[in-house]
Structure 1
Amino acid sequence: MNIWFFNHYAVPTSLYPLARPYHFANHLQQKGHKVTIFAASSVHLSDKNLITDGRQMRAKRVDGIRYVFLKARNYEGNGLGRILNFFDYTIRLFTQTGKFNKPDVIMATSVHPLTCVAGIILAKKYHCPCVLEIADLWPLTLVEYGAMKEGQLVTRALYALEHWLYKKADAVIFTMFGGKEYIQDMGWEKDVDLDKIYYINNGVDLGIYHRQQKEDWLPDEDLDRKDTFKVMYTGSMGVANSVQDILDAAILLKEHKEIQFFLYGAGYQEEDLKKYKEEHHIDNVHFKGRVNKRFIPGILSRGNLNMLTGPSDRVSEYGMSMNKMFDYMASGHPTLSNIQTRNDIFVDNHCGMTIEEGSPQAMADGILKFAQMDPTEYETYCHNATETVKEYDFGYLTDRLEEILKKEVEEK
């Protein structure tokens, strides 16, 4: 098959760590398919742009994958500039894709809904199926984070657009477990074919992960100590990540000197969190800063318990698909989460626990439970994490994706 991926942020992973499209493309090519990733030239969360001249498009092969970068302006924040960047990318999907050989199938990813609109319209033009990949629930995510309000005209319009996308797509792949439940809760199942709704979560390339775990090593005396129970957090540090809860739990565990917290990552709340640590003399918390993702496997291998923190809201209710979840499981250690969801991968597979949201005491109790757990029970959690993550290896996930794409091509 000649497969086109429309994904706004899917630049090479050396520039922005969105690994899912790269891994899918890599494994599909190994199966003999031809894959082209159409991405915006602007690199998210940076001032880099991969087109700095008058060209509207630039094709380049990177790490064996063919990328087509579509000219899109740089922006900062979430204001008008970012919205115009969305339109730049979408317009050039219409004006530039005709320069390439006709696809057998288009997979359009909903980083924003305009990409999916373009995918559906262009698939009709090229007489091929369009499979939508839903990574975010728009506009529900915006409503839950306060960027929009229910009942507003623009909110109702986005819900109507979302409904239209699900009706017109040949198939829809959600990255969270509860896609069908979401459609049913919205009352859209009457004109959306639930048999064409699929689920492929995020995952991890275990071959790459295990190689990095052995070869990419950051020396750190704190991590190499054998007399401590190491609680690990990796990722962004913003309000939505609830890292504050970890610091508050650490305060409650200060008397347990053997329990130490290691926080890797950065974000706009980082300095406030560091100031809070100093003001409250939280000596058992260590901010390690942002590190290259290739070092994460080696870092997590030296921990004992991984922390997944965030809000419990109507979005998380339908399932979670954060990349770090699978890095955590691949580390072979249990995860403690405070995010409530209908489909809890950690609880359902007995490779972690989920506690009450927003309760430092519940978090402290959960950490202490793992720290003082009988070794045999603890090893059971570790074993289950190692076994469960095999179902989320990108080789396995790509087999599922290939099956769906082939089915839609054959039925078109």
Structure 2
Amino acid sequence: MNIWIVNHYAIPPNMGGLVRHYYFSKYLQKKGHNVKIFTSSKIHNTDINMIKDRSLYKEEIEDGVEYTFVKSRDYKGNGMDRVINMMDLPFKTWKAMKLFYERQKPDVIYTSSPDLFVAFFALRFGRKYKIPVVVEVRDLWPESIVEYNRMSRKNPIIQVLYQLEKWIYKKADQLIFTMEGGKDYICDKGWEKEINLSKVNHVNNGVDLEEFDENQKIYQITDRDLEDDNYFKVLYMGSIRMVNNLRLLLKAAEELKRRKISNIKILVYGDGTEKEALQKEAEKLDVNMYFKGRVKKKYIPYILTKADVNLINLQNSNLEKYGCSWNKLFEYMASGKPVASNVKMGYDLIDRYKCGISREIHSEQEYADLLVELSSMDRENYIRMCENSRKAGEEYDYSVLTDKILEVIEKAMKSKRP
């Protein structure tokens, strides 16, 4: 089968962390399929642009997977340059796909949001050339803009985006939601009469266990805080932005200090717009919370396995009821350590697999209570959570999830047959 994956943010593993489609490509190739990824030449959250000249596209083999980087505008942050990048890339992607279509027609197009514009153009391309299209939803966009940026649902731009979203869901041959409550979302929007719910599928994010275990053994770092077994180590890995709500975690660290609890150490790995301010505040308050900066992906397995508990930290929002699709959750599970979350999700995987504690946290006092509870857990219960965590990770191995993707692709192709 000849499969095209179209995703604005399909970043190779050696350049960033948005690697879902790299792993699907890797395992689809192992099953004998040909895969080509179309993505932006501007690598999100980096200063890298793969195309420096006027070329429309550039083909590269990255980590054994074929990428077609399509020329796109540089940007930083979420300003106007990024908006122009999002509006311009779909047109150029169409041109690139048309050139490759003339050489070899794909059997299926598998496109992924949250960029609705690229998904829209990929879907239009498929309809024009009678190619089945699978649309994947990794972020409920624009709903997440409304939730996290406090925009009104009545805003004319948001209204247009909702209509675009609905049209995409309606016209896709098959839909994949990474969060389990995709059907709930469609029904909550009142779209169930226009969108066939039987074509809605769920395939969450995951982890490549083979790679995780290999990297854990090979790529290790020296970090005094990480190695110190005199402390109970609570670890957060990921972005440090407003939506990640790490200020609440900092307040919890301050609350622990007020209680004279000194055996809990909070380690934060990652970067983002909030990091510098939070780090300065933590140093000023002299609390047991340490910011370690961004690390290369290959070191993450070792770091996670050295923690006592790995932490999910987010702002509360109405999106939680539809389920979670955090990449980090499955790496946390693979580490074989308990997972703690300050939000309670619908379809909660932490509760389902009994691999940690998932709890609604509204104050630093409640957060401090949770951290103390975790650090005081009896050994038998702790070991059971560790074992459950690893077993859960095995169910979300990308080699397993790829079979689910193939099932959806085959359903899309069947729906197009005369």
TM-score > 0.5, shorter chain as reference: yes
CA drift of 1:186 comes to: 0.6
CA drift of 1:77 comes to: 2.1
Is 1:183 the counterpart of 2:186 in the alignment? yes
What is the aligned partner in structure 2 of residue 123 from structure 1? 126
Instruction: Return the alpha-carbon distance in structure 2 between the equivalents of residues 340 and 151 of structure 1.
Output: 28
CA drift of 1:248 comes to: 1.4
Q: 2:361 aligns with which of 334, 338, 357?
A: 357
CA RMSD of aligned residues (A): 1.3
Contact 1:312–1:341 (Cα < 8 Å) also in 2: no
Is 1:6 the counterpart of 2:6 in the alignment? yes
Q: TM-score scaled by structure 2?
A: 0.95
Give the residue type in structure 1 aligned to 2:292: K
Deviations 1:110-166 (A, max 9, x none): 131011111211111221211001011121111112263111111111111111111
Structure 1's consecutive aligned runs of 4 or more residues displaced over 3 angstroms after TM superposition are: none
How does 1:242-391 map onto structure 2 within 5 Å? 242-254=245-257, 255-282=260-287, 284-391=288-395
What is the aligned partner in structure 2 of residue 161 from structure 1? 164
Contact 1:6–1:37 (Cα < 8 Å) also in 2: yes
What is the aligned partner in structure 2 of residue 60 from structure 1? 60
Give the residue type in structure 2 aligned to 1:393: D
CA drift of 1:327 comes to: 1.1
Give the residue type in structure 1 aligned to 2:339: T
Unpaired segments ≥5 residues, structure 2: none
What is the aligned partner in structure 1 of residue 116 from structure 2? 113
For residues 390 and 172 of structure 1, do their structure 2 counterparts lie closer, same or farther at Cα, with a shift above 3 Å needed?
same
Instruction: Return the alpha-carbon distance in structure 2 between the equivalents of residues 390 and 166 of structure 1.
Output: 30
Q: 1:194 aligns with which of 194, 197, 201?
A: 197
How does 1:3-82 map onto structure 2 within 5 Å? 3-82=3-82
Is 1:226 the counterpart of 2:216 in the alignment? no
Q: 1:143 aligns with which of 137, 143, 146?
A: 146
Contact 1:245–1:359 (Cα < 8 Å) also in 2: yes
Contact 2:13–2:63 (Cα < 8 Å) also in 1: no
Higher deviation after alignment, 243-252 or 135-144: 243-252
Give the residue type in structure 1 aligned to 2:134: V
What is the aligned partner in structure 2 of residue 210 from structure 1? 213
What is the aligned partner in structure 2 of residue 173 from structure 1? 176
Give 3-state SS (helix, strand or coil) of 2:268's partner: strand
Give the residue type in structure 2 aligned to 1:278: E
CA drift of 1:409 comes to: 1.2
Higher deviation after alignment, 334-343 or 301-310: 334-343
CA drift of 1:256 comes to: 2.4
Contact 1:5–1:108 (Cα < 8 Å) also in 2: yes
Sequence identity (%):
40
Contact 2:94–2:122 (Cα < 8 Å) also in 1: no
Instruction: Return the alpha-carbon distance in structure 2 between the equivalents of residues 266 and 46 of structure 1.
Output: 12
CA drift of 1:23 comes to: 0.2
CA drift of 1:215 comes to: 1.2
Deviations 1:259-278 (A, max 9, x none): 11111111111121122113
